[in-house]
Amino acid sequence: MSKRRISKNAVATMGEERMSILARMSEETLAGGRDDLARRYVSLARRIGMRTKAKMPADFRYCKKCMIPLVPGISCTVRLTGGKTVTTCRRCGWLKRVPYSKERFG
Query: Reduced to 3 states, what is the DSSP secondary structure of residue 102?
Result: helix
User: What would the DSSP string read from start to end of 16-82?
Assistant: HHHHHHHHHHHHHHHHTT-HHHHHHHHHHHHHHHHHHT-PPPTT--B-TTT--B--BTTTEEEEEET
Closest CA to 62 of 34, 101, 91, 100: 91
Domain residues of the chain, as ranges? 8-105
CA 53 to chain centroid: 15
Question: Region 25-31: what's the mean pLDDT?
Answer: 95
Q: In this predicted structure, which of 1-10, 22-31, 38-47, 57-66 has the lowest mean pLDDT?
A: 1-10
Q: Which residue has the higher pLDDT, 58 or 101?
A: 58
pLDDT tens-digit readout, 37-86 = 999 999 999 999 999 999 999 999 999 999 999 999 999 999 998 889 99
Q: With a cut of 90, say whether residue 100 has pLDDT above it.
A: no
Residue-level pLDDT at 77 = 96
Mean pLDDT of the chain: 92
Q: With a cut of 60, say whether residue 36 has pLDDT above it.
A: yes
Whole-structure pTM value:
0.84
Cα–Cα distance for residue pair 23/55, rounded to 1 Å: 12
